Amino acid sequence: MRAARLAIAMSMVLGCASARAATITGHVRIAGSIPKPPTITMTADPTCDHLFPHGRPAENIVAGADGSLANVFVYVKSGFPKKFVFPAGPAGEARLDQKGCAFVPHAIGVRVGQEISIHSSDETLHNVDARGALNAPFNEAMVGAGSTLVKAFQHPEVAVKLKCDIHPWMTAYVGVFDHPFFAVTGPDGTFTISGLPESDGYTVEAWHESLGTRTTKIAVDDDKKSYTADFSFVGN
């Protein structure tokens, strides 16, 4: 009977926490004229050149016709309640591929300690050179299609840069977070961060590899559960 009462009480607590959870949605854009990405030629490697004989656009700025900006990390930077315990990290691996002589995806978010399974789908030699300010660097070869490397980062950092030294146009960015309240914008520039606990207010930041950061503050209303945070970057 006591166990049943405890289970009911816990269910009520979790139900209340879920009912109070807030969601932040938004859109990230680049303002003004949209920079045209340079074309990367891959003649240095016949395998890559065969895949893209006319080259391919660089990924340092990926924007739609309306300015929607992809590959932006959007995350809650501060404002969590002091006694709030972050939910446990995801049990599964994150996946990153070297495909078409590019890292896919170009930007990926993970939790601290979460394993990243790095694959190579290309019939050529790659390597993964990780250069972070707070996380230990590594540099390991990927000797061809089917190669796999599993790594994890142990400290929050936005963001760890990955590159292939053999193909210098190949880069990717890994955002490492100690909480689950982050997102990466896709081609439409939108994001959703859900499940946020009650707070006096949140600071939300957007980070882009070439355009820098934008920050906004969200004042929390106890009667409101949905918030909007839009960001605008200026092209270089």
pLDDT digits (tens, 9 = 90+) for 173-231: 999 999 999 999 999 999 999 999 989 899 999 999 999 999 999 988 777 889 999 99
Strands (E), 34-145: 39-40, 56-57, 73-78, 94-98, 103-104, 107-111, 116-120, 126-131, 138-142
pLDDT digits (tens, 9 = 90+) for 131-185: 999 999 999 999 989 999 999 999 999 999 999 999 999 999 999 999 999 999 9
Of 133, 167, 211, 220, the C-alpha closest to 56 is: 167
Phi, psi of 198 (to 5 degrees): -60, 145
**Contact call for residues 111 and 155 (beta carbons, < 8 A):** no
Longest CA pairwise span in the chain (Å): 73
For the domain 23-234, what is the CATH code?
2.60.40.420
**Global pTM value:** 0.89
